[in-house]
Amino acid sequence: MDEAQRSGCPINLTLEVVGDKWSLLIIRDMMFGNRRHFRELLTKSEEGISSNILADRLKTLLDQGIITWADDPSHKQKGIYSLTEQGIELLPILAQMSGWGFKYLPVSEELGIRAKLLSQGGPKMWAEFMDELRETHLGVKRRKKAGLSVGERLQKAYEKVVARKGKK
Amino acid sequence: MDEAQRSGCPINLTLEVVGDKWSLLIIRDMMFGNRRHFRELLTKSEEGISSNILADRLKTLLDQGIITWADDPSHKQKGIYSLTEQGIELLPILAQMSGWGFKYLPVSEELGIRAKLLSQGGPKMWAEFMDELRETHLGVKRRKKAGLSVGERLQKAYEKVVARKGKK
DNA sequence: TCCAACCACTTGCATATTGCAACTGGTTGT
DNA sequence: ACAACCAGTTGCAATATGCAAGTGGTTGGA
């Protein structure tokens, strides 16, 4: 990793941290797919990241304070990666990217449904989802809302599309 | 450019289009700095992109329908690059990145002031700025609002910080 | 107890992308 | 007529990425 930065512009600095093709996908999988172990991130992602790149990116994200690492008490070798508050606050960026991609790019139906819901839900839904992430990743308790969580709603919608497509 | 895509996920697709270290900086300079010619983008950016990379990225952005190119009637060699609606709608992504970078990264004071204002202004200010961009880049007339435009306000704020820092 | 499967990576090497500097061919203003 | 400006292109070195295989260890079941 190089330390020389190109400029003090916030957009530039953000791009220097997460502006590559993989970092935000790892964050996405941690947020929406609840992938927390190395192996999960490696094998359960749509895109097939290779292990050396994944290792390198996780290291960078750790250094940057976007994720943290902890032992998994259930397994001596497993570690659990968690998002920090800083990492959780990347959600609005992902949500905006998701909405833009959904509008202008050839998104697949099953993977687009989340983008659609998230986009329709707007900042209010994002804030709710971020609160859920704070609970899962930071252990911050929150008041139970009535009905399904945002995470659950997104998951259900995804599964519904997959089921429907499988039937056809 | 390769055509093989990694997945139909909207976030992934967006990253494949603008997920490199330069594309969004070019868009940023077109939006906030009103850089419209090759030479302006090349020399007046904070970061110092090299000409071959700039040429390559402009080509990609053209192919993707994010910008357009037109002759500059005032100069036979000059071309003018403009944002399309699709390009203008990248603003919320830039605004979110800007806000996140401002909050968590070592942003310089003069370059951070825009991020701060844009973040405080929220989606309403972004929408107004996008309307201004539609006027400048697409020729869409809009109703004049009272007072300074968002673009002008951001520019004034920037100049004010620069002037103050120069004095010290 | 043994062994296959799983765990988190690391290593070596080929390929692709980036970055620098110089260069091209043309236009504009004085 | 000539220097400065215009939009790039070219060649090459340095860096980053991607693939496949390997490392050293843990776990769970027969």
In B36-65, the residues whose Cβ lies within 8 Å of chain A are 46-48, 65
**pLDDT band at residue B58, thresholds of 50, 70 and 90?**
very high
* Residue of A6 and B68 predicted with greater confidence: B68
Supply the pTM of this predicted model. 0.95
pLDDT digits (tens, 9 = 90+) for A115-126: 999 999 999 999
Query: Which chain B residue has the Cα nearest residue A46?
Result: B7
DSSP letter, residue B6: S
Query: How many CB atoms are closer than 10 A to CB B33?
Result: 14
Is strand C within 7 Å of residue A16 (CB)?
no
Pick A100's closest partner by Cβ from B6, B89, B115.
B89
Candidates B7, B84, B100, B103, partner chain A, best to mutate (most A CBs within 10 A): B100
Cβ A23 vs Cβ A30: under 8 Å: no
Residue B145 has a pLDDT of 86
Residue A121 has a pLDDT of 98
pLDDT digits (tens, 9 = 90+) for A58-71: 999 999 999 999 99
Residue A6 has a pLDDT of 81
How much is the mean pLDDT over chain A? 95
In this complex, how many residue pairs, one in chain A and one in chain B, have their CB atoms less than 8 Å apart?
A: 155
Q: Is B2 helix (H, G, I), strand (E, B) or coil?
A: coil
The C-alpha angle with vertex A49 and arms to A9 and B64, in degrees rounded to 5, equals 55
Residue B2 has a pLDDT of 44
pLDDT digits (tens, 9 = 90+) for A73-86: 888 888 999 999 99
Residue B1 has a pLDDT of 40
Mean predicted confidence (pLDDT) in A137-148: 93
How far apart are the C-alpha atoms of A66 and A84, rounded to whole Å? 5
Q: Is B46 helix (H, G, I), strand (E, B) or coil?
A: coil
Question: Residues in chain A, how many?
Answer: 168
Residue B10 has a pLDDT of 98
How far apart are the C-alpha atoms of B85 and B82, rounded to whole Å? 10
What the block records as the tokens of A40 is 């999960």
User: What angle, 0 to 180 degrees and rounded to 10, lies between the N-to-C axes of helices B109-138 and A10-18?
Assistant: 90
Cβ A5 vs Cβ A13: under 8 Å: yes
Question: Residues in chain B, how many?
Answer: 168
pLDDT digits (tens, 9 = 90+) for A89-122: 999 999 999 999 999 999 999 999 999 999 999 9
Residue A2 has a pLDDT of 44
pLDDT digits (tens, 9 = 90+) for B1-50: 445 668 999 999 999 999 999 999 999 999 999 999 999 999 999 999 99
How far apart are the C-alpha atoms of B38 and B33, rounded to whole Å? 13
**pLDDT band at residue A3, thresholds of 50, 70 and 90?**
low
What string of DSSP letters covers chain A? -----S-S-HHHHHHHHH-SSSHHHHHHHHHHS---SHHHHHHSSSS---HHHHHHHHHHHHHTTSEEEEE-TT-SS-EEEEE-HHHHTTHHHHHHHHHHHHHHS---HHHHHHHHHHHHHHHHHHHHHHHHHHHHHH----PPPSS--HHHHHHHHHHHHHHHHHH-
The C-alpha angle with vertex A23 and arms to B52 and A97, in degrees rounded to 5, equals 80
Mean predicted confidence (pLDDT) in B106-122: 97
Cβ contacts of B97 within 8 Å, gap of 6 or more:
A10, A11, A14, A15, A93, B24
Residue B4 has a pLDDT of 60
Chain B residues close to A127, C-beta within 8 Å: none
> A79-83 and A67-71: which strand pairing?
antiparallel
